[in-house]
Structure 1
């Protein structure tokens, strides 16, 4: 029996015209229809309408963030807690536990039955279908990093389980994996560094039946962006803070109800909880080369006033540094999963594609290229799992995640390129998914935030 809840009757894996449109997409479509109307010629507005279509398509609309739910400040009465570190087994053993293996099986089924069939349409629409988001919510992905006493599904820290789940989901599609994991990243951040009041206020929403869209906002649209020197600023103002700046690559920003925003406070990076609908927040489309199904947006913060309770974690950048490391670890896991998808696809392709009377896999140049993908992929996986294992046990994993990120950035892009090359002309067209995987794999070295383990 399937572990994944079935999609709604009559639903499609693709995007319906209603479900695929974000507020920004609806606005673009409206302006496009206006430009095609004869009415604007009669009233002499043809030139202005065509200019509006050009600007909108290029830059996207900039609109206020979605009016989010009212998070109950009273919260529930459960005391706050932190995820416990896992126990060391005393040996170098990366074998998943029974609980982790069960999660992986569910994630693999979700990836193959739901994410993979919806990936192409979601990439074209720059939005995740509602069916995919609902399916991910029903299997409890948002509660992966929440402690069990607060309604989560794991007893200990979930970095290893998160890495395994992210890898499995990315075998379906990296963009949709990012879209489904983004709310859980916010819940994990609050679980790890939130005060008791913050946990009681926000975490119940992530373990309930209507999980809010939520996103980390760390990256910025600047050349050679340094995650540890954000240009977005937070200045003290009375008992609270005022934030100013621009964040990029914000997952599902147009519909997000809660953001974790990185900003420089007194010269030190810090994290802040910002609810959508807060005065001074605006969002615009930020379409990218890859990971398009995640619905990436830019978040503009202009004089955003927050209370003292909006600070998440400390002011010494300890929590912030761990957030960045866990985010980079998540991207490594996503890279491994997408790389595995490439390997599985090209193996079948080169064994089935014939030239001069034999499969092209019989040619050494082809066979060696496939073997190189498998070798590099296994190295990426082992480095990523080692970093995740140390994070789960509460040990320092700075070196391990640095090595994993460097290898995944370099070899991940190479795997994508080789995948396209092995398919020849077929690798260049959208009939085959390798061109999308190639675009997605190029995101690993430039993305900061968005997801976290």
Structure 2
């Protein structure tokens, strides 16, 4: 039995659980079901119905956040949490994955080929990841990839390298679905890296259980020339010893379903992260459909007089934890760029060999052959820089310079790879019959997105 058959639960009939929980998913699913009916043609409602589907998908929704789970407080807020050990350096620069890493990559690659890619078109159009794909991602352990083994996860050592390889493999299937499936595990990884004992014992058991909560890392803001290290969202101390958060976060993955947020805010001039449960009063989620990464159900998160306790602070308040989170997030986006870029290369290479013009394959033209070669060259450079940054992060070394170089290259060359992929397909590159136009839209997110995922 294939991985697809073994992991995909349920059938295609009826509304998925995500649609029942998510207002826009429910509405779009209902309208799509109505649009398939012959009844609307008989009563002359075809055009109004199609317009309704378009309007809802374009404008999104606005709703209060979900409040379906209560996290029971546990542990000591003053004790540091359990941390995974750093990887042991061999002294030799070797990019060969370990046996465990290779086994994990093989499983995720098969998952991406058999489950993620077939669902990508529908997910992109609906701005929502199918429930079957999300459930299947739990089966292969994505949410606990960065959780220490002592806390119920699978990470004996810091998993930056393994996380990078997994993100790359997933993005070869689809970047939007990769973000949707990696988002909860990113929050769990953050708590495993910087959480106190109380935070780990309060939240991580939910991520290692069968019903994993949706969770989101919210750092990006909808402002011109946004600087991720200087968030406009503010945190002020309250007389009771807690904090009041005010501001707006954008491009928050699966925000409508999220039960836990990691929110970046400025506290006394320093960027700090806070754990905010979705049931907290003052949170509002609004649909924020984007050009690319649409399957991640990107949303806008508004915080108005959101009061959290003192123990909601994640990591240090001097800005160091926040800066490391940004670096690990950028590393994840570099890995996603490499994976999507590889998908482009794998698709255009046979295409130009099979597509004929003037009696011969277009690959025989030097300009075409050179363009494909340039994609391969730039892609390998992106991969090497990303892996080097990931290896230093896993070893606990400073990787500020390495991740900055990787992000700069992946943002510029990733977009170029997407553009060249569309160009190589000619007219086919502009239509949705071929996936390259979607990959091009996704690759443009690399230089814009901050947060959402980390490794």
Q: Using structure 2 for the length normalisation, give the TM-score.
A: 0.91
Residue number in structure 1 paired with 2:200: 199
Q: What is the Cα-based RMSD across aligned positions, in Å? A: 2.5
Instruction: Answer with 138-147 or 18-27: which moved more.
Output: 18-27
What residue in structure 2 maps to residue 268 of structure 1? 270
User: Is 2:7 the partner of 1:11?
Assistant: no
In structure 2, distance between residues paired with 1:32 and 1:123: 15
Is 1:338 the equivalent of 2:340?
Answer: yes
CA distance in 2, matches of 1:52, 1:423: 33
Query: Cα distance, 1:55 vs. partner?
Result: 8.1
Take 2:8 and 2:330, find their aligned partners in 1: how far apart are those partners? Answer: 35
Q: CA deviation at 1:154?
A: 1.8
Deviation at 1:31, TM superposition (A): 9.6
Counterpart mapping for 1:351-366 below 5 A: 351-366=353-368
In the alignment, the residues of structure 1 paired with residue 75 and residue 122 of structure 2 have an alpha-carbon distance, to the nearest angstrom, of 39
Query: How much does 1:61 deviate?
Result: 2.6
Is the partner of 1:373 in helix, strand or coil? helix
**In structure 2, what is the Cα distance between the partners aligned to 1:55 and 1:150?**
45
Distance in 2 between the 1:84 and 1:359 partners? 53
Q: How far is the alpha carbon of 1:127 from its aligned partner?
A: 0.2
- Quote the Cα distance in structure 2 between the aligned partners of 1:167 and 1:314: 30
| 1:73 aligned partner | 73
The alpha-carbon distance between structure 1 residues 175 and 450, as it changes in their structure 2 partners (threshold 3 A), is same
Q: 1:407-441 deviations in whole A, cap 9, x for unaligned?
A: 00000000000000000000000000000000000
In 1, Cα distance between equivalents of 2:212 and 2:75: 16
In 2: Cα distance, 1:231 partner to 1:331 partner:
23
TM-score by length of 1: 0.91
Shift in alpha-carbon separation, 1:208–1:57, aligned structure 2, 3 A:
closer
Superposed CA offset, 1:335-383 (max 9, x none): 0000000000000101111122221111111100000000000000000
1:19–1:210 CA distance, 2 compared to 1 (3 A) = closer
Name 2:393's counterpart in structure 1: 391
Q: Distance in 1 between matches of 2:319 and 2:293?
A: 28
* Contact 2:428/2:434 (8 A) holds in 1: yes
Aligned length: 436
2:129·2:295 contact (CA, 8 Å) conserved in 1?
A: yes
1:33–1:181 Cα change, 3 Å: closer
- Picking from 266, 275, 284, the partner of 1:282 is 284
Deviations 1:180-219 (A, max 9, x none): 0000100010001100000000111111111110010000
- Higher mean C-alpha deviation, range 417-426 or range 91-100: 91-100
Report if aligned partners of 1:5, 1:138 keep a CA contact under 8 Å in 2. no
Change in Cα spacing, 1:140 to 1:10, as seen in structure 2 (3 Å) is closer
Q: Does 1:125 align with 2:126?
A: yes
Q: CA-to-partner distance for each residue in 1:145-171, whole Å, 9 max, x for gaps?
A: 101111111210000000000000000
Kindly indicate whether residue 247 of structure 2 is the aligned counterpart of residue 245 of structure 1.
yes
Q: Which 5+ residue runs of structure 1 have no aligned equivalent? A: 35-50
Aligned partner (choices 431, 434, 443) of residue 432 of structure 1: 434
Equivalent position of 1:296 in the other structure:
298
| Structure 2: unaligned runs, 5 residues or longer | 35-50
**Residues 1:116 and 2:117 are matched in the alignment:** yes
| Structure 2 residue 139 is the aligned partner of structure 1 residue 138 | yes
Cα shift at 1:277: 1.6
The correspondence of residues 13-412 of structure 1 with structure 2, limited to 5 A, is: 17-18=15-16, 21=19, 22-27=22-27, 59-74=59-74, 80-238=81-239, 239-412=241-414
1:29-84 per-position Cα deviation (integer Å, ceiling 9, x unaligned): 889999xxxxxxxxxxxxxxxx99998665433210011311121369x9941111
CA contact (8 A) 2:176 2:295 kept: yes
Contact 2:429 2:436 in 1 (8 A): yes
Closer, same or farther: CA 75–196 of 1 in aligned 2, 3 Å: closer
Q: Secondary structure at the residue paired with 1:6?
A: helix
Task: Sort the Cα spacing of 1:264 and 1:395 in 2 relative to 1 into closer, same or farther, 3 A.
Answer: same
CA offset at residue 7 of structure 1?
3.8
Mapped to 1, the partners of 2:346 and 2:212 lie a distance apart of 33
Contact 2:330 2:403 (C-alpha < 8 Å) held by counterparts: yes
